[in-house]
Amino acid sequence: MSLLHDLLEFNEQFVNSKEYEKYVTDKSPDKKLVLISCMDTRLTELSTKALGLRNGDIKHIQNAGAVISHPYGSTMRSILVAVYMLGADEVMVMGHHDCGFGALKPEPMIDNMKARGITEETFETLEHSDIDIKNWLKGFDSVEESITESVGKIKHHPLMVADVPVHGTVINPANGKVDLVINGYEEE
């Protein structure tokens, strides 16, 4: 049986037995926070549970590394939507120790792409279009620096509300401990 089949079969049971009732909430977050965390599998539940957050409390955006890589990319747009349209009035960027994206080197991933059928010609075309694939696929040396950079991009975005605090934190995926890197209340 395929994974998709298993997932959909479970879903049918889930709906029929009304399991969804314990997750019922509305679209506006109770805690009025938008959280940007890494897509690391260890953090899927840990990043919110470690802060006492429940389904319906926050807007949660997850991507590789919890990084704002482009000021007009979809992560930044999601933050702006959360703030302007969905009632979020604080933002938190949460990186984590032992981040797979942080350790990412572009060369092995490009080798993987080639091994799986992406042609040399495609890379040349992208290069001629001024797309710096190596830079795009590069992780970071320090999680604290990466968070500080992303917090700065959000805080100083031309479309961001000036008085919305933007916090930066690092979580330890082994025990859920969250350390403060930037206190957004002090940066106003």
To Zn ion, the closest distance from the beta carbon of 146 in angstroms equals: 10
* CB nearer Zn ion, residue 100 or residue 152: 100
Does 111 show up as a binding residue in the annotation? no
Q: How far is the CB of 98 from Zn ion (least distance, A)?
A: 8
Between residue 83 and residue 112, which ones bind Zn ion under the rule CB under 5 A?
99, 101
Size of the site for Zn ion (CB under 5 A): 4
- Structure tokens that stand for 181 in this block: 């890197």
**Shortest approach of Zn ion to residue 173 CB, angstroms?**
8
9 to 48, contacts with Zn ion by CB under 5 A? 38, 40
Show the beta-strand stretches assigned E in the chain. 33-38, 58-63, 90-96, 166-171, 178-182
Name every residue whose Cβ is closer than 8 Å to that of residue 149 and which is 6 or more positions away in sequence: 68
Residue 96 assigned ligand-binding role: yes
Residues ≥6 apart with Cβ < 8 Å to 151: 93, 166, 167, 168, 181, 182, 184
Our CB check for Zn ion shows the closer of 32 and 138 to be 138
Residue 180's Cβ-side half-sphere holds a number of Cα atoms within 13 Å equal to 7
Closest CB to Zn ion among residues 36, 38:
38
Q: Which residues bind Zn ion (CB under 5 A)?
A: 38, 40, 99, 101
